[in-house]
Amino acid sequence: MAEKPPIAVTIGEPAGIGPDVILASWTRATRSGQTNEIAPFYVIGCVRLLQSRARSLGLDIPITPANASGASEIFPHSLPVVPLQAPLDGEPGLPVASDGVAIIESIKTAVEHVQTGIARAIVTAPIHKKSLYDAGFSHPGHTEFLAELSGTWPGGPFKPVMMLAGPRLRAVPVTIHMPLADVSKSLNTGDIIEIATITADNLISRFGIANPRLAISGLNPHAGEDGAMGSEDVTIIKPAVAALNAAGIDATGPLPADTMFHQRARNTFDVAICMYHDQALIPAKALDFDRTVNVTLGLPFVRTSPDHGTAFDIAGSGRADPSSMIAALQMADQLSSTS
């Protein structure tokens, strides 16, 4: 059987903890007897920057410039790095706008590699949006940019769907990076149906759940109490649930969000479809912050990411926990092995 291609890891914001958790993940894999738990990966980044960060962390890690095609052979002995053309200059905790060009190049290169079969999945290290905006980045975040690069959105067949997947909860927000004041104006029945359908399809095809159960949250307190606390639950969400059931998808709701996430409730569904960003991400991160993974559904390739941000305050200090990056690498391996 031919060896599976490695996983491509983007450098993310170099002034944050992305380099720290990448280095720690390679160390965990190769020096703790866990090579069977973490598949070979390579970084699309900067050898000099990673060497500097390793020194600041007191890590003796060999780092090798490499072609992606040879990364799997290098990985057990050295961290393979596909060098970027654009420079990276940020120091721990001190982002610089000029790094945005290289960060964007890293993401684009990863997509090219996975589309051509050089890599089998992408794991993205956390980004700092201001650095990207200063470099001309026009997307709300990673999710939307990856969807555009893959040709799935806008104008393509699917919306990008962000799932937070942890050991005890999977949660998907219908609206993502927008002010809370705009959520009720943006929410519509069609989007709920589309996002829930993409989620159900991916739970079947990638997560191996034959008959996924979807819990659909309400928007307002107590799911609106039949319109007493807002009309959206009755006029927007309830028709979406009915349409999903009519299409053969096991969906329940709208459910009061304040009672959806205790243990007994979680046992009744496979994923929570939530109406806005924090409604989904707060319970996911509260339950399993260190082991929860951001997964983008609706793409023609597998993409995962740690669920944390850049954490400038601890970058280069040795205090960054690599657990979420390791979980993202493991999930990328699992999902790309089954898709």
User: Span 1-156+298-339: which CATH code?
Assistant: 3.40.718.10
pLDDT at residue 1, rounded to an integer:
38
pLDDT, one tens digit per residue, over 297-308 is 988 999 999 989
Element (H, E) at 146: helix 142-150
Q: What percent of the chain has pLDDT over 70?
A: 95
pLDDT at residue 108 is higher than 70: yes
pLDDT, one tens digit per residue, over 123-156 is 999 998 877 888 778 877 777 888 888 887 666 5
User: Span 161-296: which CATH code?
Assistant: 3.40.718.10
pLDDT, one tens digit per residue, over 27-58 is 998 875 555 689 999 999 999 999 999 999 99
Q: 46-50, 157-161, 167-171, 323-327: which has the minimum mean pLDDT?
A: 157-161
Write down the number of H helices and E strands in the chain. Answer: 13, 12
**Per-domain residue ranges for the chain?**
1-156+298-339, 161-296
- For residues 189 and 195, the answer to whether their CB atoms sit within 8 Å is no
Same fold, 1-156+298-339 and 161-296: yes
